[in-house]
Amino acid sequence: MKLIVGLGNPGPAYKDTRHNIGFMVIDKLLKSLASTNVSKRTFKGELYKSKDLLLLKPGTFMNLSGQSLQAVANFYKIKSEDVLVIHDEIDLPFAAVRVKVAGGNGGHNGLKSIDSLIGKEYARLRLGIGKPEYKEMVSSYVLSDFDSRERGFLDNFIDYAAEVATAWSSGVAIEKLKSNYTKKDSSYLL
């Protein structure tokens, strides 16, 4: 069994924000898969099952994402190497895509929470959202909606991220994912 986790914040106020791109990719995957909602209160999130694949949208706020992931991983006895976390990445330009395993959290509070509860040995699908001009603006930036130029590319960006997640879930090796799916910016969407 494999687990794909999309990070975001619950509630309509955050629905279209940069921080919620992980949720957006999970929603896209759910539209293309025959899945069943298998959520339980103890999972602290929305959990869906499609054959041997689980898809999770933590219902905790970003800073507590690890609680939901840990509850699901423990219940289904999923090892960290069978987990893919999809998250926003301010250190990458908008629409850049990177796949990696382990490493630092880059100040991302959702990853900090996950690292503290299950360790760092999980796969990450890092989705570039760009960064604000000043460090003090990071919080408001990630919690703001995509701008009009970004929204013009967003559907295709999410489609591409869902394609990468699907390749991971079908067993494509990390090194192959890195070489075949890495994108440095939004030029591939033109």
19 tagged catalytic: yes
User: How many whole angstroms separate alpha carbon 68 and alpha carbon 56?
Assistant: 8
Q: Which of 7, 8, 9, 19 is catalytic?
A: 19
Chain centroid to Cα 1, Å, comes to: 18
Reported as type and span, the H/E element at residue 125 is strand 123-128
Burial class (CB in 10 A: 0-12, 13-18, 19+), 33: middle
Report the SS3 class of residue 60.
coil
Which residues are designated catalytic? 19
